[in-house]
């Protein structure tokens, strides 16, 4: 299946700081990418997506950057809040979604 890896398994940030979560993928044919957030005991929730014809997309407090040359994605969360604590997955689309190990974001008050 798709090889997806995250650079940091756990990220701890201070409330109010910005967070950056990284993701590497291996399938250069992937043309659509989604970031998901999963809170404990719940299913993944859509955060933001980006197509391969873009290198940046912004949402509310979140920005996704895509570097197709090095097959790398990042998710930036501005002014991180305690409610942002969760595991974050990136999911490049080929014909199905394979998930990487995820990055656990801990927000310290």
Partner 1 sequence: GAVVSQHPSWVICKSGTSVKIECRSLDFQATTMFWYRQFPKQSLMLMATSNEGSKATYEQGVEKDKFLINHASLTLSTLTVTSAHPEDSSFYICSATTGNYGYTFGSGTRLTVV
Please report, as ranges, the residues that interact with partner 1 according to CB under 8 A: 1, 32, 34, 36, 41-46, 49, 89, 91, 93, 96-102
Q: Which of 14, 13, 17, 78 is nearest to 48 (CA)?
A: 78
Q: Write down the least CB distance from residue 16 to partner 1, Å.
A: 27
DSSP secondary structure letter of residue 69: T
Rg over alpha carbons for the chain, rounded to the nearest Å, is 13
Nearer to partner 1, 69 or 95 (CB): 95
- For 69: left if phi > 0, alpha if psi spans -120 to 50, otherwise beta; the answer is alpha
Which helix (H) or strand (E) segment is 11 a member of?
strand 10-14
């Amino acid at each position: 299946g798709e090889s997806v890896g995250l650079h940091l398994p756990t990220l701890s940030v201070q409330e109010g700081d910005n967070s950056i979560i990284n993701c590497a993928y291996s399938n250069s044919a992937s043309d659509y990418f989604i970031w998901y957030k999963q809170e404990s005991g719940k299913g993944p929730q859509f955060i933001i997506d980006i197509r391969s014809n873009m290198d940046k997309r912004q949402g509310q407090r979140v920005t996704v950057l895509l570097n197709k040359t090095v097959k790398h994605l990042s998710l930036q969360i501005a002014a991180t809040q305690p409610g942002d604590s969760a595991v974050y997955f990136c999911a490049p689309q080929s014909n199905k979604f394979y998930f990487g190990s995820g990055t656990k974001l801990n927000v310290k008050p």
